[in-house]
Amino acid sequence: MLKFALVALLPELVRPVTGHGVVGRAFARGLAALSCHDPREQATDRHRTVDDRPYGGGPGMVLKYAPMAAAIREADAALPAGSRRVVLAAHGRRFDQALAAELAAAPGVLLVAGRYEGMDERLVDAFGLEPVSLGDYVLSGGELAAAVIIDACVRLLPGALGDEDSAAQDSFAGGLLDCPHYTRPEVIEGREVPQVLLGGDHAAVRHWRMRASLARTLAWRPELLAGRTLDAEQRALLEEVRREAEASRMDHGMQGPRRPAGEDDEQAD
Ligand SMILES: C[S@@+](CC[C@H](N)C(=O)[O-])C[C@H]1O[C@@H](n2cnc3c(N)ncnc32)[C@H](O)[C@@H]1O
């Protein structure tokens, strides 16, 4: 079981992730568990104060050391030895599929969510917290970031997904973006499903999907291809896709990457 312990002022923003969809089912089946630890309950004054003005002045408030530390200690006690200790922070290591896999492989994960201008920095040192960011934008609090991390980790747990292969085929799992997907009907408002997907030729479908995956990665996230080891088939397909993209750029007199067909309707021409 993967145990999460959350330190947050607004745990109600995180709990719903444990009750819905595949992740909810994983929690219900005991593959993961979440305990919540509210620093406000650790505050000792009449008003249950958890924040104070920043030293040095400036706008906003800062989460105080003492109630946060007490909540972290309580959360830590709910986790097995060897658990990872994450603090959600805009400046941290960017959360990605590799980090999701690392955290999912740990016995437990402490998630410390900030609010206001953040928390007293001494907590990071005192508890050996690893700053993790969801991306280059600022959230009002770390709770939604914690919910995202829980979701991404739990779906990687063995037995969490109905089809064991589906996590392995997701975007980023193999270092590439996922290919496009289609379902019935075959034609909708004149838009057709690629013919190869209808023919039942599994090798052709696999080949098409690999090519589409490479084309999508080249168009949207070319940096994922840099430094990635491709097999001979992938190298040949990527070369083909590159030539096609180049030809299409020439045709359209465009600068920069062109999205694969079907993904650039708004940008095209
Ligand atoms: C309003 S933000 C504080 C922003 C902080 N003053 C800064 O500029 O980096 C409050 C809390 O939201 C969380 N947070 C904000 N942006 C985040 C991001 N991109 N990733 C993860 N957590 C984030 C952090 O826990 C942070 O302490």
Query: How much distance in Å is there from the Cα of 116 to the middle of ligand 1?
Result: 8
**Rounded to whole angstroms, what are the CA distances from 49 to 11, 22, 43, 45, 66?**
17, 37, 6, 7, 10
The Å distance, Cα 140 to ligand 1 centre, comes to 6
* Strand stretches in 95-253, DSSP E: 108-112, 130-133, 187-188, 191-192
Contact 57, 25 (CB under 8 A): no
Ligand 1 centroid–CA 60 distance in Å is 13
The two structure tokens encoding residue 93: 């290591």
Residues with CB under 6 A from ligand 1: 88-91, 113-115, 117-118, 133-135, 137-142, 145
Label the pairing between strands 191-192 and 2-7: unpaired
Find the mean pLDDT for residues 208-234: 95
Mutate to test the pocket of ligand 1, among 6, 50, 88 (most ligand atoms within 8 A of CB): 88
- 132 Cα–ligand 1 center, Å: 10
Whether residue 29 is found in the same domain as residue 128: yes
First to last CA, the chain: 51
**Which pLDDT score is estimated for 255?**
60
**Residue 165 domain-assigned?**
no
Spell out the long-range contacts of 170-175 with Cβ–Cβ below 8 A and sequence spacing 24 or more: 170/97, 171/97, 172/96, 172/97, 172/98, 172/224, 173/97, 175/224, 175/228
One domain, residues 181 and 244: yes
At which of 154, 188, 208 does a domain end? 154
The pLDDT score that the predictor gives to residue 227 is 82
Establish if 58 belongs to a structural domain. yes
Q: How far is the CA of 108 from the centre of ligand 1 (A)?
A: 23
Question: Do 141 and 10 fall within a single domain?
Answer: yes
Q: CA nearest 65: which of 119, 112, 139? A: 119
Q: Among 123, 154, 185, where does a domain finish? A: 154
Q: Check whether residue 124 and residue 226 sit in a common domain.
A: no
What was the pLDDT predicted at 213? 96
Whether residues 231 and 266 fall in one domain: yes
Using the mean position of ligand 1's atoms as its centre, give its distance from the Cα of residue 136 in Å: 10
Give the CATH number for residue 113: 3.40.1280.10
In a domain, residue 163? The reply is: no
Domain check: are 175 and 148 in the same one?
no
Whether residue 237 has pLDDT greater than 90 = yes
Using the atom order of ligand 1, give the atom closest to the CA of residue 133.
20
CA atoms within 13 A on the CB side of 154: 27
Return the best residue to mutate from 138, 148, 149 for the ligand 1 pocket (most ligand atoms within 8 A of CB): 138
Using alpha carbons only, what angle is made at residue 85 by residues 79 and 88, rounded to the nearest 5 degrees? Answer: 125
Domain assignment present for 69: yes
Domain that holds residue 11: 2-154
Q: Greater confidence, 264 or 86?
A: 86
Rg for the chain, CA atoms, rounded:
23
Report which protein residue has its CA nearest ligand 1's atom 26. Answer: 114
Indicate yes or no: pTM above 0.85: yes
Q: What percent of the chain has pLDDT over 70?
A: 93
The rounded distance, in Å, linking the Cα atoms of 25 and 31 is: 9
Domain count, the chain: 2
Q: Do 66 and 118 fall into the same domain?
A: yes
Same domain? For 177 and 128 the reply is no
Interacting residues of 124 by C-beta distance below 8 A, sequence separation 6+? 87, 131
Please report which helix (H) or strand (E) contains residue 243, including its range: helix 232-252
Q: How confident is the model at residue 263 (pLDDT cuts 50, 70, 90)?
A: low
Model confidence band, residue 164 (pLDDT cutoffs 50, 70, 90): low
Counting atoms of ligand 1 from 1, which one is nearest the CA of 119? 27
Q: How far apart (Å, rounded) are the C-alpha atoms in residues 2 and 9?
A: 22
Task: Identify whether 61 is part of a domain.
Answer: yes
Instruction: Using pLDDT thresholds of 50, 70 and 90, give the confidence band for residue 264.
Output: very low
- The verdict on 37 and 141 lying in the same domain is yes
d(CA 165, CA 29): 19
Each residue of 63-121: pLDDT tens digit? 999 999 999 999 999 999 999 999 999 999 999 999 999 999 999 999 999 999 999 99
Asked if residue 53 has pLDDT above 90, the reply is yes
- Give yes or no for residue 262 having a pLDDT over 90: no
- Shortest-distance Cα residue to atom 20 of ligand 1: 133
pLDDT at residue 259, as a whole number: 62
**Phi and psi, residue 157, nearest 5°:** -70, 135
Is the same domain home to 9 and 43?
Answer: yes
User: How sure is the predictor about 165, in pLDDT bands with cuts at 50, 70 and 90?
Assistant: low
Residues 134 and 30 in one domain: yes
On whether residue 256 sits in a domain, the answer given is: yes
At 172-208, the pLDDT tens digits run: 888 999 999 999 999 999 999 999 999 999 999 999 9
CA of 89 to the centre of ligand 1 (A): 5
Summarize the confidence of residues 19-44 as an average pLDDT.
Answer: 97
Supply the CATH number for residue 202's domain: 1.10.1270.20
Triad 111, 114, 116: Cα angle to 5°: 170
Which range is least confidently modeled, 6-10, 119-123, 248-252, 256-260?
A: 256-260
Q: Are residues 11 and 130 in the same domain?
A: yes
> Is residue 164 assigned to a domain?
no
In a domain, 159, yes or no: no
Question: From the CB of residue 202, how many other CB atoms can be counted at a distance below 10 Å?
Answer: 8
